[in-house]
Amino acid sequence: MSDKSVLVVNSGSSSIKYQLVEPETGRCIAKGLVEAIGEAGGHAKHTFGEEVKELDRVIDDHTVGMEIMEQLFAEVGPDLASCHIVAVGHRIVQGGKYFAGPALIDDDVHQKIVDLCPLGPLHNPAHLKGIDAARKIFPDLPHVAVFDTAFFQGLPEEAARYALNREVADKYEIRRYGAHGTSHQFVSGEVAAILGRDDLKQIVLHLGNGASASAVVAGKAVDTSMGLTPLEGLVMGGRTGDIDPAAVFHLAREAKMSIDEIDDLFNKQSGMKGLTGDNDMRRVWERIASGDENAQAAMDIYVHRLVKYVGAYHAVMGGLDVITFTAGIGENDAALRARLIDRLGFLGVELDEEANARRSDEARTISKEGSRVRVMVVPTNEEMAIARQAMTLV
Ligand code: ADP
């Protein structure tokens, strides 16, 4: 079997995604998903090479979910005992002010992740369930927390601090923490490695169901679009992205909506879903093709927001060398990429239409030779990045 491997766990409120990764090569040895935990009908799927096994059963909690994962490894393979697992890497969304890099989960780190739950209410409690369950199943392995916010811990104060009353902001720790940092760090690092330059001014556009932009200078993040929570910034599958916070006051006063209702509206019922009825970009394009005007308007809003961020980050960095697309939409949606690049002619960006249209899983350049700003597509691999970060601590 492989040399060394890391089990990467991404635990959500009702799901556990896992991957067994060989950090050195980035090879995914096996992966799976346990979902609908705590719901009426649970489901699990495990993939090892050509072998796929699915099962349906009630899954009471994350511990049972983790036991099912272990059972699937035993039944389908690979045999965990022969995989030389050196760590379990846990994806954690909110690392707050504490974590600028990965951390070995001991009692202190565990407590800090607990303390950060108010700042990551949708994510950290779910991650803790995953951590607690995994520690029960793998008590002898080191568990490492890899934080989505870590790459943005060192943002300059001018980018990280809101112009909110200082006393209140400090007391309640309200600042820009960002998210998707593991992906932005990985992708910007890949770009630097591919181009053999460590002085680049980059914009990374992570466009998946969640979406975020970052400005990276010489490997350091200088700004990012997600804020206190992943709600801020770009238009997303179900999230508004930027919106005047006064909309909250207005809905509370006029529509008598509760804070939880507004939270749900902004985080889950808005974005492309709230504008078109679909959060999947492929469906949105289908709607546009069938003449749906709301879908067309939603696409215009989506692209407009991207244009604003690219322009802003260009200005913030005082220049721009590379724009990189990543994640589900960024990697696959050539039409969306073309639309955005078409609006960036003022930057001297020239798209190579053929390269843009070509489908590939490889990192690639899609701008023309001689384009003043290079445009790339770089597949993100958060699991590999988490595995590699976990390795650094064991
Ligand atoms: P997340 O990890 O945030 O859930 P992903 O990065 O996996 O999301 O991206 C998922 C999204 O990618 C889907 O909701 C869909 O909108 C988009 N997507 C995937 N494939 C395509 C495609 N071929 N064309 C356009 N959009 C796509």
- Taking a C-beta distance cutoff of 8 angstroms, is the pair 44, 66 a contact? no
Does position 1 have pLDDT exceeding 70, yes or no? no
Q: How far is the CA of 138 from the centre of ligand 1 (A)?
A: 32
Ligand 1 atom 7 nearest Cα? 328
From 63-67, 118-122, 147-151, 327-331, the region with the lowest mean pLDDT? 118-122
Catalytic residue, from 3, 56, 115, 148: name it: 148
Phi then psi for residue 351, to 5 deg, are -80, 135
- For the Cβ of 331 lying below 6 angstroms from any atom of ligand 1, the answer is no
Contact assessment for residue 232 and residue 175, using Cβ atoms and an 8 Å cutoff:
no
Strands 143-147 and 85-92: parallel
**Gap from CA of 333 to ligand 1 centroid (Å):** 9
Q: pLDDT tens for residues 131-176?
A: 999 999 999 999 999 999 999 999 999 999 999 999 999 999 999 9
Q: Is residue 335 in contact with ligand 1, taking CB distance under 6 Å? A: no
The question of whether 342 is a catalytic residue gets the answer no
Residue 206: count of CB within 10 angstroms of its CB: 29
DSSP H helical segments within 259-381, as ranges? 259-268, 271-276, 281-289, 293-317, 327-332, 334-342, 353-357
Question: What sign does the dihedral 369-374-380-386 (CA atoms) show?
Answer: positive
**What is the pLDDT at residue 2?**
53
What pairs with residue 11 in β-bridges?
16
Q: How far apart (Å, rounded) are the C-alpha atoms in residues 309 and 129?
A: 35
Q: Give the three-class secondary structure for 48.
A: strand
pTM beyond 0.85: yes
Tell whether ligand 1 has an atom less than 6 A from the beta carbon of residue 261. Answer: no
C-alpha span between 363 and 333 (Å, rounded): 15
